Structure 1
Amino acid sequence: MIKLYDNGVYLVNGTDIVEDNGEAAAALAAKCGQAPSKEEAAKGTMAYSILEAHNTSGNMKQLQIKFDKLTSHDITFVGIIQTARASGLEKFPIPYVLTNCHNSLCAVGGTINEDDHMFGLSCAKKYGGIYVPPHQAVIHQYAREMLAEGGKMILGSDSHTRYGALGTMAMGEGGPELVKQLLSRTYDINMPGVIAVYLTGKPQKGVGPQDIALAIIGAVFANGYVNNKVMEFVGDGVANLSADFRIGVDVMTTETTCLSSIWTTDDKIKEFYEIHKRPEGYKELKPADVAYYDGMVYVDLSTIKPMIAMPFHPSNVYTIEELNANLMDILDDVEKRALVSLDNNKVNYTLKDKVHNGRLYVEQGVIAGCAGGGFENVCDAADILRGKYIGADEFSLSVYPSSQPVFMELVKNGTIADLMETGATVRSAFCGPCFGAGDVPPNNGLSIRHSTRNFPNREGSKVNNGQIASVALMDARSIAATAANQGYLTAATDIDVDFKKPKYFFDSAIYENRVYNGWGNAKPETEVKFGPNIKDWPEMSALTDNLVLKVVSEIHDPVTTTDELIPSGETSSFRSNPLGLAEFTLSRKDPAYVGRAKEVQAAEKARVAGEDIFAALPEVEEVFNTINGTFNVSPQETQIGSTIFAVKPGDGSAREQAASCQKVLGGFANIANEYATKRYRSNLINWGMLPFLYQGELPFENGDYLFIKDIKKAIEEKNDTIKAYVVNKGMKEFELHLGNLTEDERDIIEKGCLINYYRSQM
């Protein structure tokens, strides 16, 4: 049972819940004598104390955060370091870990993935960083094992940067936010709301962390209950969960669209730090005697059953029991939802052909990455499978331990041998299955995965080539139960098993012998190694007084993911090459986008070069003639770019390229009803793009030109409401909004991007 409170709540002594419903003062007085004010009680959360300790602004309403450590992987660190180098980087001011867990197995483009790795190693030497070679650990497992500390804060360039179960408040953001930290700047946000997640009871045997996580995601995603807030896990049920179990729930909080997470800590977390030979990293965390939360998610762990998130979102959740009982009805609903994500008739999509004799058959199982590859998950899966066989038909099972130390211990205790004997294959630490760079299922295939996301095409299929496959998210235990039944969907609670729960022993020598640790020992004489695919960012012009935008894509899906804005999978190999990667922008959602954007960009390039913009883009001459029938505007002094409209863009990954690819193609703005995540909006701003908001029926359509007069003045004067005109509809006037922007964000937009902003200060 999951309950969402309609009002804020007070938590007294960590256990008693008092809803802020008009009678709270009397109830609080009865429980603790004198009722503190709501403002004072809000300071009693763990989140508040950690943010206060890291805030440099002196104002707890407008935070300027400095993090303790940074972490990135090989899809993101090249662009981050290149941006920082262009902005004046001399050495890493705090520990910065460069892991190599995303492009480790990509074969696209010859040497370019390994070239990125060598770039990372040379930068770790030059600037004093920590370099984790390929196949050693996925980014978040290394951070848990070696970086997390109680009461500290970590910023990562991956959306699943979540170490709250270990007492570390961690956030995943686009690369430019890490650049700011590398240049000793701050992460600027308004004080976020804090939502309590009160856990009580104990999970049923066979229920795993992914089941709890999916149940919570299903309850809070669509209604935005925790959007851009901190989830604070409290309650007597926390003590009933192992450290690995808590980690498995925590990493999936990203899929709720929350900002960050933090948990109460206890002896189990203390033992985690001791096992990993860092006992000094532990800190006891708990709310104050009275703490006020902006809401509460109440979770009775004992009522959660094995869950499945059907395509194409982690929030599309059902119990496995419910799915099996109402199979055809639910599959029919999944197909109807899929029509939206798959643009209706591009492919023939169905899962009903997976129903064999009344049961759902799947072709693939994967247990992997930061969510599924943990020690306890793999051991429990092996216990379910031990002595059984996955069969010789279409079904396959792959297991990716989350780090070499985890892999080593699974070898030593016999778990790997048990898994291999069943027919499962075991791989090295790698994030590929999470984003389409490993274990891509067959066309029309259905894969069940203990991983993080199941967005359309994220598993590697290409709709434009007529390919479609599906991913459903499940817990490792139910994946193993399904494997034990050779591909027929089965809940782990339906299997009689004795979970052995072996003790974990961490072998630190694996990292000591292989990881390059240059923290505090920068070697500036080191030459950075550049492969031929590693390119600098193109020059970006500053904002002009006025702006002409052509709408070049219009997306009306309820939510647009970053995977749809810039696909993952093999395209990830080009993330060190801004112009090369930009060729894939919206390629699975709107294949004509790149060509349209480039046509408009030709006019802007001509303007910047002092050439004839009308020769570069003849249609824009009529646009300016129409504008000048109302206003006196110089074409040579007016930026000409493109924009897209999407209802709610930016769900999913922290990848900055979802925004930067638009910018390098001449995109100067997004227009949206709302932005799915703070990090996507921040990415737009950091690349100098205007994050416009619009509500109501659209006054424009794809192909229309928009004119925005005095946009620079509006930015400088902190105006939220911006007048705009649809040029080819008789200069039809409408209003856009910008929302809150910090002083630095306004300056970044005016300068044209974060790189220009820092260059102006050098």
Structure 2
Amino acid sequence: MVKLYNSGIYLVNGTDIVPCDENVAHLPSPEVAKKGTMAYSILEAHNTSGDMKKLKIRFDAMTSHDITFVGIVQTAKASGMEKFPVPYVLTNCHNSLCAVGGTINEDDHVFGLSAAKKYGGIYVPPHQAVIHQYMRETMAGCGRMILGSDSHTRYGALGTMAIGEGGGELVKQLLCDTYDVNYPDVVAIYLDGKPQPGVGPQDIALAIIGAVFKNGYVKNKVMEFVGPGVSSMYTDYRNGVDVMTTETTCLTSIWRTDDDTKAYLASHGRLDMYKELNPADTAYYDGCVYVDLSSVKPMIALPFHPSNVFEIDALNENLSDILHAIEAEAQNFVGDAKVDFHMTDKIVNGKLTVQQGIIAGCAGGTYSNIMEAAHIMENANIGNDEYTLSVYPSSMPVYMDLVKKGAISTLMSCGAVLKTAFCGPCFGAGDTPANNAFSVRHTTRNFPSREGSKPGVGQLSAVALMDARSIAATSANGGVLTSATKYADGYVVPDYVYDDAAYKARVFQGYQAPVQGADLQYGPNIKDWPEMSALTDNILLKVCSKIMDDVTTTDELIPSGETSSYRSNPLGLAEFTLSRRDPQYVGRSKVVDKLEKARVAGDALPELAELYAQIATISPDVASSDIEIGSMIYCKKPGDGSAREQAASCQRVIGGLANICEEYATKRYRSNVMNWGMIPFQMVAMPEFEVGDYIYIPNIKHAIDNDMSSIKAYVLGETVKEITLYIADMTDDEKSIVKAGCLINYNRNR
């Protein structure tokens, strides 16, 4: 079904795979042939450094939603921004319910509109479109690059290299700076054959994720979709595969384009955005994922990760064993918490029963997914028992055509509930299941608690990812898990008719047309960033959390869901840091922050006298008043998942000064750590320190400016224990940002 190559490959004539371990003497060198990839030409066109090994990228457009744009605008404003230099789309699809926290969600929306007016932006009001559907419909185009403050910023199927990053990277673009990254490896995703009837884009995506996530095959690399199988899928289908590439931890994606891409753009009034993209006659790739589309069957990603994939039929044949393993994983996740959660109790008469179905967002809520679902459910109903089904079309234009085609009334008559464009089910702010319930969703993620449950107070439900077609089949079967192939009958989705009347009526188009005299409108929850101090030559870190899980997601670092209401209030949001994973972390870090503020004020710190005495044996010439004090977390592999910068900024505003880890799960989280003035330490050895220990690191600024490969640090206690840390490659700007204390300070200093 999916095959990974052990070496680099050449792609010849767009169809022939030639592994490098075969005779390739007649082919150009990899260094020459890598220029034949689509990725190379697009990156070269957007690179301002003149050095393709060290890229400095400027993007054609940017986008943010209402969880992130307030902080980005506030940061850029504090750094001296006067206008939006590129089209910047502010969508309102995450906090659009305005149901939690009084006025604060709508206050953020008012702020966003005022920012679009003041700085010349594009403002998409709540319920009009989810962020990525709007960008597909109006902004993506062949050969372009788009940056978004959401991890699922992916428009590769439309010929656009799109990257999801933390807000700091968008701030740099707003200040006319660049996105700096080493030239990435490029991996060919070779698609062959065509999908079977009943197999949808989520099935293809999950098959790929299952093959490449755990081994890191495409981590921080470009996934370049090539091969004849690309043209077996229409563009709306390709979009559904593409958006899920985020779950592989790749950097970005790009697809070859064809007449169907051209027709998609033309139907959206943007024919001028089309151009043919294909690899050169000979192109070199750093790896290859071969996918036989015809062999992919309906898939399910069981809790608690999109890579935990099974064929639906295989799961149904081995329910007890597989679900027992999920229960064990859940117990490991909740630890000592008293949580009533089971999966095996959902096996009834040998079949797996489901309590909820969701089709939503940038992955599930597309026109073709919902049309297919409606066709499968025609003349069926979901029944009047526990099972429920909610469907969220991804934009008003999609919703309008579904109404005209009759799909909406079909779904409603089956018992489904139709809702507006909203990303809530993807991150725990909409349709949270009941405790001990099992939800199947065509959304993007199924991390622990991402559906909204709270294990810390005894609430836990679980989500599996499935394609809309199989969710419809499950719904038609009364909530019994069912593969869509059982309902496949050769149905062909009718052509989509795009009508942007709703956008014309409601979207504020302010790019290069700011409103004279407009000013930012603040609500009482919108707060400025607190002051953050510059890095000193020597630092003292207190270990405030130590997490030994294989992966720590951004949802664990800062939970999603109801906490989103506080994302415009840095200190308010920081109260939730690690709340679902280590609830004592915030209190520990605040104690450290008080020590640092006392040090800056010149106060004596008698409670640290013994530590200072030990430090004097290491650095006798360093005054205790010159040693910056900060909190630190250790995780084996932090940062899988969301791009949101708050996973790092929340640590920083309550005293965080560093992370130590074995490796960072994603580039974007490591970038967030640096943009918020924290040091991204790593270590090879197992951590021989515990929560409450202090770690002294002398001459840290000198190390950052010189040799970061081996940094001496000292665990203080009854004895002094030397450990070795290191910092992976940083750009000169990143070093300057960390030393300045954060991106805001760095820009102010300039």
Query: Is residue 2:645 matched to residue 1:656?
Result: yes
Task: Report the counterpart of residue 615 of structure 2 in structure 1.
Answer: 627
Task: Report the counterpart of residue 441 of structure 1 in structure 2.
Answer: 433
Q: 2:674 aligns with which of 667, 685, 694?
A: 685
After TM superposition, give the deviation of residue 404 of structure 1 in Å: 0.2
| Structure 1 unaligned blocks of 5 or more | 30-34
Task: Report the counterpart of residue 49 of structure 2 in structure 1.
Answer: 57
Of 414-423 and 98-107, the range deviating more from structure 2: 98-107
Measured in 2, the distance between the counterparts of 1:630 and 1:636 equals 16
Measured in 2, the distance between the counterparts of 1:425 and 1:15 equals 45
Measured in 2, the distance between the counterparts of 1:226 and 1:268 equals 27
Task: Report the counterpart of residue 654 of structure 2 in structure 1.
Answer: 665
- SS of equivalent to 1:603: helix
Query: In structure 2, do the counterparts of structure 1 residues 346 and 52 end up closer, same or farther at CA, with 3 Å as the change threshold?
Result: farther
After TM superposition, give the deviation of residue 697 of structure 1 in Å: 2.1
Query: What do the CA deviations read for 1:629-681 (whole angstroms, capped 9, x no partner)?
Result: 33223221111011010000000000100000000010100010000000000
Q: 2:723 aligns with which of 726, 734, 741?
A: 734
Task: Report the counterpart of residue 127 of structure 2 in structure 1.
Answer: 135
Measured in 2, the distance between the counterparts of 1:196 and 1:106 equals 43
Q: 1:149 aligns with which of 129, 141, 148?
A: 141
Letter in 1 for 2:675: N
CA contact (8 A) 1:363 1:487 kept: yes
Query: What do the CA deviations read for 1:549-603 (whole angstroms, capped 9, x no partner)?
Result: 0001010110000000000000001000000000000000000000000011110
CA contact (8 A) 1:151 1:168 kept: yes
Query: Is residue 2:152 matched to residue 1:160?
Result: yes
Q: 1:330 aligns with which of 319, 322, 335?
A: 322
Task: Report the counterpart of residue 10 of structure 1 in structure 2.
Answer: 10
Query: Is residue 2:501 matched to residue 1:509?
Result: yes
CA contact (8 A) 1:384 1:497 kept: no
Q: 1:73 aligns with which of 65, 68, 74?
A: 65
Task: Report the counterpart of residue 628 of structure 2 in structure 1.
Answer: 639
Query: Is residue 2:460 matched to residue 1:472?
Result: no
Measured in 1, the distance between the counterparts of 2:598 and 2:354 equals 54
Query: What do the CA deviations read for 1:178-199 (whole angstroms, capped 9, x no partner)?
Result: 0000000000000000000000
Of 561-570 and 726-735, the range deviating more from structure 2: 726-735
Measured in 1, the distance between the counterparts of 2:732 and 2:511 equals 32
Measured in 2, the distance between the counterparts of 1:550 and 1:750 equals 19
- SS of equivalent to 1:17: strand
Of 337-346 and 563-572, the range deviating more from structure 2: 337-346
* Structural mapping, 1:139-538, within 5 Å: 139-343=131-335, 345-523=337-515, 525-538=517-530
CA contact (8 A) 2:341 2:435 kept: no
CA contact (8 A) 2:197 2:490 kept: no
Task: Report the counterpart of residue 113 of structure 2 in structure 1.
Answer: 121
After TM superposition, give the deviation of residue 206 of structure 1 in Å: 0.1
Measured in 1, the distance between the counterparts of 2:338 and 2:23 equals 56
Letter in 2 for 1:47: A
Query: What do the CA deviations read for 1:54-105 (whole angstroms, capped 9, x no partner)?
Result: 0000000000000000000000000000000000000000000000000001
Query: Is residue 2:552 matched to residue 1:552?
Result: no
Measured in 2, the distance between the counterparts of 1:340 and 1:465 equals 16
Query: What do the CA deviations read for 1:378-423 (whole angstroms, capped 9, x no partner)?
Result: 0000000001000000000000000000000001110000000000
After TM superposition, give the deviation of residue 718 of structure 1 in Å: 4.3
Letter in 2 for 1:651: D
Measured in 2, the distance between the counterparts of 1:214 and 1:527 equals 45
Measured in 2, the distance between the counterparts of 1:716 and 1:695 equals 21
| Structure 2 unaligned blocks of 5 or more | none
Measured in 2, the distance between the counterparts of 1:451 and 1:729 equals 51
CA contact (8 A) 1:74 1:101 kept: yes
Query: Is residue 2:695 matched to residue 1:706?
Result: yes
After TM superposition, give the deviation of residue 611 of structure 1 in Å: 2.3
- SS of equivalent to 1:670: strand
CA contact (8 A) 1:106 1:437 kept: no
Measured in 2, the distance between the counterparts of 1:499 and 1:440 equals 32
Instruction: Give the 4+ runs in structure 1 shifted more than 4 A.
Output: none
Query: In structure 2, do the counterparts of structure 1 residues 285 and 114 end up closer, same or farther at CA, with 3 Å as the change threshold?
Result: same
After TM superposition, give the deviation of residue 339 of structure 1 in Å: 3.2
After TM superposition, give the deviation of residue 503 of structure 1 in Å: 1.3
Measured in 1, the distance between the counterparts of 2:330 and 2:455 equals 12
- SS of equivalent to 2:723: strand
Task: Report the counterpart of residue 542 of structure 1 in structure 2.
Answer: 534
CA contact (8 A) 1:211 1:305 kept: yes
Letter in 2 for 1:42: K
Letter in 2 for 1:699: E
Measured in 1, the distance between the counterparts of 2:535 and 2:366 equals 47
- SS of equivalent to 1:640: strand
TM-score (norm: length of structure 1): 0.97
CA contact (8 A) 1:106 1:570 kept: no
Measured in 1, the distance between the counterparts of 2:510 and 2:488 equals 49
After TM superposition, give the deviation of residue 496 of structure 1 in Å: 4.4
CA contact (8 A) 1:561 1:652 kept: yes
Measured in 2, the distance between the counterparts of 1:12 and 1:540 equals 53
After TM superposition, give the deviation of residue 695 of structure 1 in Å: 1.5
Query: Is residue 2:749 matched to residue 1:757?
Result: no
CA contact (8 A) 2:197 2:489 kept: no
CA contact (8 A) 1:567 1:588 kept: yes
Measured in 1, the distance between the counterparts of 2:656 and 2:342 equals 36
Measured in 2, the distance between the counterparts of 1:718 and 1:117 equals 46
- Taking only the aligned residue pairs, the percentage that are identical comes to 65
Measured in 2, the distance between the counterparts of 1:294 and 1:399 equals 40
Of 236-245 and 488-497, the range deviating more from structure 2: 488-497
